[in-house]
Amino acid sequence: MAKTPAQRAALHGKAATGPSAPIVNTSTKRTPQKAQGNANLILIAGSVASLFLFAYFHLLTLNQMKDLADGLAMPQSFVFGFSSAHVEALRLAMNADALGQLNYVGKTAGTLFALIFAITALTVIASNVAKKALRWTLWVLPLAFAAISLWANAAVDSMLGAETLDSGAVSLASGLVTASWMLLIASLLAIGVALFLGRPKKAAPEQA
């Protein structure tokens, strides 16, 4: 004979008429404030890493490379490009070890700076710009910076390591280096725009 729900409850000490409620671990609840705090920590870490890598690559390492090139500046240091005469002088002043060191720092610190800065810029823009069209427009700048910067380092290495200096290779490398600097500046401006748009809005004063 089938037992009634009341009889089953009395027998087992609890209701057995339906599935039990899922157990919720309230200790893992993530508030919007906590999520925002985690995002801010990631942005701070990315910003610090980007600043450190920029200083290490452009202000420290490339300047130290002058000691291996009779005081001549490295191609990546020229904001507005460089000439074939400067590149020819560099090729004469730098031996294979010096060229190897420049290639190494370009592939390590130069690559890391471009990628980490671009990721940080993308995150800042995504966190502060609500309009999709504007967000994508601003995203283009750091993405283009990362791509052009990596291409510029590769073009400089190819130019300096070639058996004979080609004017076309010099023009390409010079244009890419200049473009990377302009895109870096534009990306910083895009970050500024994003932070401006994402600033907290002041509440309107209440009418008496």
69 lies in a domain? yes
In terms of phi and psi (left: phi > 0; alpha: psi -120 to 50; beta: otherwise), the region of 163 is alpha
The predicted model scores a pTM of 0.77
53 lies in a domain? yes
Task: Categorize the per-residue pLDDT at 15 as very low, low, confident or very high, splitting at 50, 70 and 90.
Answer: very low
Q: What confidence tens digit (pLDDT) does each residue in 130-174 have?
A: 889 999 999 999 999 999 999 999 999 999 988 888 899 999 999
Could you give the percent of the chain with pLDDT greater than 90?
61
CATH number at residue 65: 1.20.120
146 lies in a domain? yes
Could you give the percent of the chain with pLDDT greater than 70?
77
Q: How many domains does one find in the chain? A: 1
Question: Which 3-state string (H, E, C) describes 130-186?
Answer: CCHHHHHHHHHHHHHHHHHHHHHHHHHHHHHHCCCCCHHHHHHHHHHHHHHHHHHHH
119 lies in a domain? yes
13 lies in a domain? no
Alpha-carbon gap, residue 174 to 172, rounded angstroms: 5
Q: What confidence tens digit (pLDDT) does each residue in 190-201 have?
A: 999 998 887 776
24 lies in a domain? no
Which domain covers residue 127, as residue numbers? 49-73+82-197
95 lies in a domain? yes
Instruction: Give the residue ranges of DSSP H helices in 55-131.
Output: 62-64, 84-93, 96-105, 111-128
87 lies in a domain? yes
Residues 6+ positions from 90 with CB-CB distance below 8 Å: 69, 72, 74, 75, 160
Helix count (H) and strand count (E) of the chain? 8, 0
